[in-house]
Structure 1
Amino acid sequence: MPRVLISDKLSPAAVEIFRRRGIEADFRPGLSPAELRAIIAPYDGLAVRSATKVTRELLEAARNLKVVGRAGIGVDNVDVTSATARGVVVMNTPYGNAITTAEHAIAMMFALARQIPEASASTKAGKWEKNRFMGVELFGKTLGLIGCGNIGSIVADRAIGLKMKVIAYDPFLSEKRARELGVEKVELDELLARADFVSLHAPLTEQTRNILSREALFRMKKGARLINCARGGLVDEAALHDALREGHLAGAALDVFETEPATESPLFALENVVCTPHLGASTMEAQEKVALQIADQMADFLLSGAVSNAINMPSVTAEEAPRLKPYMELARLLGSLAGQLTAAQQAVIRSIRVEYEGHAAELNHRPLTAAALAGVLAPLLGAVNMVNAPVVARERGIEVAETTLERSGEYQTLLRLTVVTDRFERSVAGTLVVGDRPRLVAIKGIAVEADFAPHMLYVTNQDKPGFIGRFGMTLAEAGINIATLHLGRSEPGGDAICLVGLDGPVPEEVLAAVRRLPLVVQATPLAF
C-alpha cells in the first residue's frame, strides 16, 4: 500500500480520497523542518500547500519519495530542480484556485479605487470623513494585464463586464486568443503608458523577476494604480514605495510580497496601499477544490502511473496510462539493452533517436521517449528515471529525436531505438505480442526474436560452424543452465548474434571463458 504524508492543512476530504483509493495517508501539519526530515523516508508521496518547504535536504532524506503534490498553483516552496534530479514528480493544481484568485484581484481593485479599508477603519473609529475618501470609478478605465493566462483571462472577463477597456502584455498570448477574450494585445511599454490600473498575473521566473523595476514603475501612467495578486518578486518593492510616496502612482494593492510572511514593510505605512496576507486562493471553495484535486492526482500517479499537471514530467491521463504501460515497459527495456551494450564498450553517447511505427505512432510519445531515455542512461549513470532522464540527456549534450510512421510494416506496432556514439551507431527494435508482452525483434538491423529475461548474455560472433557447440559446452561445464537461446545473423558467414536467457547472473570466470572462445567478438551480460 503506498503511503502519503500530508504536511500542511488540507481538507479532511483529501485524506478520505487517499484512504478510499487504498493509499495510507498520514495527516501531520505543523512539523518543523527537522521533524519532517526525520519521518519522511518511508513515504511515497508528500502533499503540501505553501507552508512546507520542500528543500534539497528534505528530498535527500526522502529516499522512497515518488511524488510531491502542491495544492495550489505556485511551486515556489518546492525545489523542483532537486526533485527532478532525484526523479521525483512535482505536481500542482493550476486551475483549482483560478476563479478565487481572479475575484480577489477584482476585489483589490475595487478596494483601491474606493479606499475601502481606510474608510472602514475611519468609520469604525467614530469618524465620519465623507469628504476625505474621494474615489474613482472603474467604468471606462483601462486595465492593463501583465500575464493573460488562466487567471488573467478570468480577470479580463470580469473587467470587461465592468465596462473597462482591457489591454494585455503576454508573449505567449496569440492574436486569435486575444480577440476571443476581447482584449488588445500590446507590448509592455505601451501597457505601462496607457493603463489606469495594472494587474499582475505572471509566474515568477528569471525572466519576470522585477518585471516592474524602478524604471518600469516610473514609466507607468502618472496616477495609475497597481494590483499584485500573483507573486512577490515581480515588483521592486522599494521602488514602488518611492513611486507612491512621490505621488507618481496613486495607489497599490498587494496580496503577495517578496518575503513572506511579510510582517513589516515601509509600504505598510502608506495610506494609499491596501495589503492582504496572500489571500488570493483563500476561499472555502478553492481550498476544498485544490485539496481534492491534488489527492486524486497523486492517487492516480501512485496507483496507475497517470500524470496530471506535473511541472517536470509529461502528462499521462488516467485513460492513457493502462494503454501506455506496456509500451513504456518496452521502451525502457529497449533503452536498457542499448544502454548496457553502450556502457560495455565505454562509448560516449552523442544522440538518441526513437522511432514509432504502426499503432505506436498513434500514442502519446513523450512519456515513452522519457522511458527509453531512462533505460539508456541508467546503466551509464545510475539513478536515472523517467522524470530526470530528459534533463540528464540535455545537460550532457545528448540530442534526442522522435519520428513516427503511422503505416505498419512487418509488425503492427514497433519501437526502434538508435544510439549514436563517438565510435558507432547501434539500433534495437521491439514490439508487443499476445498479452502486451514486450519482445525484442532486432539488434543492429539483425532479426532476433527474443523475450526479455531478468538475466541474459549477449554474444556477437562470426557466423562459422562449431561456435554454438563450443559456446553451449562452455556454459554446461560451468553448471549454467540455458533457459532460452535466440540466434540471428546478417548473412551466411557474416556477423551473428546469440542472445541467451539464463537462470541467474553469469560469473566473471565464465564470462571470461566465453570471451576466449574462437569467433567471439563481444560478450556482455545483461540484467533487466
Structure 2
Amino acid sequence: MRVIYDPEPRSTAEILSPQEERLFRSRHEVIEWQGEDRDAFYAAHLPEAEAVIGQQPMDRERLDRAPKLRVIVNVETNFLPNIDYEECFRRGIHVIAPGGVFALPVAEMALGMAISLARNIHGEHAAFLRGQERWLFAGNRESELLSGSTVGIIGYGDLGRALHALLAPFRVRVQVFDPWLPEGYLRRMGLEPVPFERLMAENRFVFVMAAITTENAGMIGREALARMQQGANLLLMSRAAAADFDALAEAAAAGRIRVATDVFPVEPLPQDDPLRRVPGILFSPHRAGALTQALREIGTRMLEDLDLIERGLPPVSCRRAERETVARFRSMPVSKS
C-alpha cells in the first residue's frame, strides 16, 4: 500500500524495531513526512494514499483529497476529535488505534500500587529512610490483604480486562460498573455487574480503569468518595479527568480513604502544587504504561492490521473507531512519548 507516514509525537525508533521497520518499508510504499510544510505535504500525497499513519487532522477537505484512502492509524493511540469520523464511516475508511498495548503494563502497575496501599510498603520504606520505621505488628495496624477481598473495577475495556486477569490468583470478588456493556456479558466473564453507587460502597479496592467520555468526566467526586468504606483503597489508573482532585485530596488527607494515582490534571505536576504534600496518596508520574515493550507493540499491531486491510480483511489487532461511541471519547492528546 502507498502509506503516508507521520507518527509524531511518536518516533520510528519507539514504535518499530529495526526488523519491523525494514519489513514496513519493504512491504509498503512509505511516504514519510520529514519536517516540511505539512499542508503542502498532505496536499501532494493524499490523492494516491491508501493509508495514513499519524494523528494529524483529517477533516472533510483532506479526506476529499484522498479517494483511495482505506485506513487511518493513530499511533498516538487515542481517538482524537480532529477527524471527520462520519465521512470515514460513510466511505468505509477504517480509523484504528492500538491503545490496547498499554493495558497489561497499566494493569501490572495498578496491582502493585494496590498491594502497596494495602500493606503501606511505600510508607514504611520512607519511614525506614528517616529512621522512623515501625517493626512487626506495629507497622501493620492499618494493613489489609488484597487476597480474598472485594474489588470494584470502573470500566471493563482493555485496562479493566487486563487487571481482571491478573487478579485471578487473589480469589477476590469482582464487581464492575460499565454502562457500555450488557450485564449478561459481564456475568459470562465471571463478574458481578453493579450500579456505580453500589460499586463505590461495597468494595475495599476500587480501580478506575475507564476511558474518559462525555458521561463519566468527574464521576469520582465528593458524593462518590463519601460512599466508600473507611480506609478503602482508590486507584486512579486511566485518566485524571475521571476525578475531582480537590475532593480526592480532602478524602486522603482526612484519612477517610487511601489513594493511588498515576495521572494528574496537569502533567508534569507543578513543583508547588499542593497535591504533592497531601498525605495518604501514593503517586506515580504517569509511568504505568510507559514501557519500551508497549511502544514497540504499537508498531507490531499496526503492521498486522495493515496486512489484513491490504488483503481486504478487517483489522483485528487495533481498536476500531465505532460510529456509536467515538464522539463520546474525551482523551487528551499525547504531547510526547
What TM-score do you get using the length of structure 1 for normalisation?
0.50
| 1:310 pairs with 2:320 | yes
Matches within 5 A, 1:437-476: none
| 1:254 pairs with 2:248 | no
Per-residue CA deviation, residues 424-482 of structure 1 (Å, 9 max, x unaligned), is xxxxxxxxxxxxxxxxxxxxxxxxxxxxxxxxxxxxxxxxxxxxxxxxxxxxxxxxxxx
1:70: which partner in 2?
74
1:19: which partner in 2?
25
Deviation at 1:173, TM superposition (A): 4.0
List runs of 5+ in structure 2 lacking aligned partners.
325-337
| 1:206 pairs with 2:214 | yes
| 1:107 pairs with 2:112 | yes
2:81 to 76, 79, 82: 79
Q: Which structure has greater strand proportion?
A: 1
1:104 and 1:128 map into 2 onto residues whose CA distance is: 27
Matches within 5 A, 1:8-407: 8-9=10-11, 10-13=14-17, 14-24=20-30, 26=32, 39-41=41-43, 42=45, 44=49, 45-48=51-54, 54-55=56-57, 64=66, 66=69, 67-71=71-75, 74-75=78-79, 78-82=80-84, 84-85=86-87, 89-123=94-128, 125=129, 127=131, 129-131=133-135, 134=140, 135-249=143-257, 251-263=258-270, 265-298=273-306, 300-301=308-309, 303-304=310-311, 306-308=313-315, 309-312=319-322
Counterpart secondary structure, 1:97: helix
Between the aligned residues of both structures, percent identity stands at 23
The 1:276–1:56 alpha-carbon spacing in structure 2 relative to 1, beyond 3 Å, is farther
1:99 and 1:136 map into 2 onto residues whose CA distance is: 25
Deviation at 1:122, TM superposition (A): 4.4
Per-residue CA deviation, residues 383-437 of structure 1 (Å, 9 max, x unaligned), is xxxxxxxxxxxxxxxxxxxxxxxxxxxxxxxxxxxxxxxxxxxxxxxxxxxxxxx
Provide the alpha-carbon RMSD of the alignment: 3.5
The letter of the residue matching 1:257 is: F
Q: Which has the larger radius of gyration?
A: 1
1:277 and 1:61 map into 2 onto residues whose CA distance is: 37
Per-residue CA deviation, residues 329-377 of structure 1 (Å, 9 max, x unaligned), is xxxxxxxxxxxxxxxxxxxxxxxxxxxxxxxxxxxxxxxxxxxxxxxxx
The letter of the residue matching 2:24 is: F
**Which fold has the larger relative contact order, with Cα–Cα distance below 8 Å and residues 6 or more apart in sequence?**
2
The 1:291–1:266 alpha-carbon spacing in structure 2 relative to 1, beyond 3 Å, is farther
Equivalent residues of 1:114, 1:136 under 8 A apart: yes
What TM-score do you get using the length of structure 2 for normalisation?
0.74
Equivalent residues of 1:18, 1:299 under 8 A apart: no
1:2 and 1:73 map into 2 onto residues whose CA distance is: 18
Counterpart secondary structure, 2:252: helix
Deviation at 1:306, TM superposition (A): 4.5
Q: Which structure has greater helix proportion?
A: 2
Per-residue CA deviation, residues 194-226 of structure 1 (Å, 9 max, x unaligned), is 111110122211111112122112222222111
